[in-house]
Amino acid sequence: MTDDDPGTAVRRDRFSGGPAREFLSSLAADAAIFEADLAVDRAHTVMLAERGIVDSAVAGEILGALDDVEAAGHDALPDGEDVHEAIETAVIDRIGPDGGRMHTARSRNDEVATCIRYRLREDLLAVVEATIALREALVEVASEHTETVMPGYTHLQPAQPTTVAHYLLSYEGGIARDTERLLDAYDRVNRSPLGAAAFAGTPFDIDRDRTAELLGFDGTVRNSTDAASARDFLAEGSTACATLATTLSGLAEDLILFSNKGFVELSDEYASTSSIMPQKKNPDTLELTRGVAGDAIGEATGTLSLLKGLPRAYNRDLQRAHASVFEIADDVREATEVAAGAVATVDWDEAALADAAGEGFSTATGVADLLAMGGMPFRTAHEIVASAAETVSDDDSPAAAAAKVDEATRKVTGESLSAHVSREDVESALDPAASVASRDSAGGPAPDAVDDELANATVRIEDDDAVLADERESLAAAAELLDAEVAEYV
């Protein structure tokens, strides 16, 4: 039955009204894939003409009509069940029944799956770009603070002194993995389902690899049922965004706490004031960054929940699976950009950080390590320093604290401290800067170790930036190829 067969009109009329019509329609939400659908229509039409399935002159009319539809915009589309039907109707309105030939050898099932992938890959690359910019900001600021001592915490309690550089590079490492996850997800998104038809393929002599090439996909999802029904790529993309958002939330939380303690001051561009209390400087952008994580986690969970009970092939539930993923990707990208700006412009109070670095006897582990390196079993050293911690206060000088360690040593072992290490070495280990400098193992906070990690991080960033550029170049080249092929018919 062709599109100009009267029977088609009868069938459409039967399903065109009723109270559920608006509920069924996804036309408004499909604005996100309007441009993608036009690209898919063009590539499919070019392929149909190349294979002799549609006459070249008719293909030219269809492609010209698609140009008109694009110029008019999504808001000018006629009412329809979805953007795919609305665009097809708009083309038929312009050139007559032959407009329906562009839907030959495909279904809305493979069409929408292709449109979603076409759009999502752009969103993922935008998020990747934002992560690279954030990592660059972290590395740049870290390079300025390799010797800026700061307190390190576990359980929100003073633990060991570290440096601002070492702290920031911990987030660069985490966000680098987020970049990897996004690029991995992109690789699996960037496969074309087009040509799978409803789910069981088509008898027409189509070329699926050709449409994949014209749309910039790296290949096809080969099994036609898998191609039309799979939405695991949405789950993977939303989960990668949610994982990044969770990393950002941790960074935002830290900076909010550091702001509260007076360790940092946010730039005015990334803060706001109270409507009633003029002295306030609130870390609002970071609080919103933290909040985006909840939305992203909810989206990932919702996507997986929607997919978990579906039988194979297409189900209408899938209509609800994609629009909010685009929104979350955009929100996470924006949050990443805000985090990069906040990190790049924050002012670290080096004096306040240095004063706090030794609070809570935070160099205690260094003293225990020193005793162990002097030949004492570490567990015994741990007991000695734990005993000393009961009496050492933040007001004690290094000499006074060392004396208390000596007293605890005598209490636990019956020997003086000097039987294991010198009093001078203990006093040095009690100094936060010296404690940091002593921890120069690979990945540690000592300045030399941090310099190595800065160099490694810079190389990783350059590598990921090159991958991003290659993917963008590939998509741009495909778009140019499609434009050139379309021009042969229009």
Distance CA(30)–CA(116), nearest Å, equals 10
Residue 467 and residue 461 in contact, taking contact as beta carbons nearer than 8 Å:
no
Residue 435 and residue 363 in contact, taking contact as beta carbons nearer than 8 Å:
yes
Q: Is the pLDDT of residue 12 over 60?
A: no
**pLDDT band at residue 18 under the 50/70/90 scheme:** low
What pLDDT does residue 7 have?
41
Give me the phi and psi of 131, to 5 degrees please.
Answer: -65, -35
Residue 52: burial class (beta carbons within 10 Å; 0-12, 13-18, 19+): exposed
Residues labelled catalytic:
155, 274
Mean pLDDT of 329-355: 97
Both tokens of 153, joined, read 């915490």
According to DSSP H, which parts of 106-163 are helical? 108-143
Q: Is the pLDDT of residue 140 over 90?
A: yes
Q: Is the pLDDT of residue 6 over 50?
A: no
What pLDDT does residue 236 have?
97
Each residue's pLDDT tens digit, 76-129 = 999 888 899 999 999 999 999 999 999 999 999 999 999 999 999 999 999 999
The CATH number, out of the four listed (1.10.12.10, 1.10.287.180, 3.20.20.70, 1.20.200.10), of the domain defined by the range 110-134+151-164+172-355+454-481 = 1.20.200.10
Q: Is the pLDDT of residue 159 over 90?
A: no
Distance CA(34)–CA(27), nearest Å, equals 9
Q: Is the pLDDT of residue 331 over 80?
A: yes
Mean pLDDT, the chain, whole residue set: 92
**pLDDT band at residue 28 under the 50/70/90 scheme:** confident
% of the chain exceeding 70 in pLDDT: 95
What pLDDT does residue 13 have?
56
Say which residue the tokens 């800067």 belong to. 433
Mean pLDDT of 429-443: 92
Each residue's pLDDT tens digit, 338-350 = 999 999 999 999 9
Classify 150 as helix, strand or coil. strand
The full length of the chain comes to 490
Distance CA(370)–CA(122), nearest Å, equals 53
Each residue's pLDDT tens digit, 74-85 = 999 998 888 999
Q: At what angle do helices 34-50 and 56-72 cross, to 10 degrees?
A: 170
**pLDDT band at residue 11 under the 50/70/90 scheme:** very low
pTM: 0.91
Each residue's pLDDT tens digit, 262-294 = 999 999 999 887 777 777 788 999 999 999 999
What pLDDT does residue 116 have?
96
What pLDDT does residue 14 have?
56
Domain spans in the chain, listed from the N-terminal domain onward: 6-104, 110-134+151-164+172-355+454-481, 364-430
When mean pLDDT is compared across 107-111, 236-240, 296-300, 418-422, the lowest value belongs to: 418-422
Say which residue the tokens 């993995």 belong to. 177
Q: Would you say the C-alpha torsion 327, 192, 463, 476 has a positive or negative sign?
A: negative
6-104 classified as CATH 3.30.43.10: no
Mean pLDDT of 255-265: 96
What pLDDT does residue 3 have?
44
Which string of b and e fits 423-461 if b means at least 16 CB within 10 Å?
bebbbbbbbbbbbbbbbeeeebbbbebbeebbebbbebb
**pLDDT band at residue 17 under the 50/70/90 scheme:** low
pLDDT greater at residue 246 or residue 411: 246
| Continuous segment of H or E residues that includes residue 218 | none
% of the chain exceeding 90 in pLDDT: 73
Residue 179's nearest CA partner among 139, 133, 218, 140 is 133
Distance CA(131)–CA(179), nearest Å, equals 6
Mean pLDDT of 209-213: 98
Mean pLDDT of 417-437: 88
pLDDT greater at residue 177 or residue 384: 177
Distance CA(317)–CA(307), nearest Å, equals 8
278: amino acid identity, one letter: P
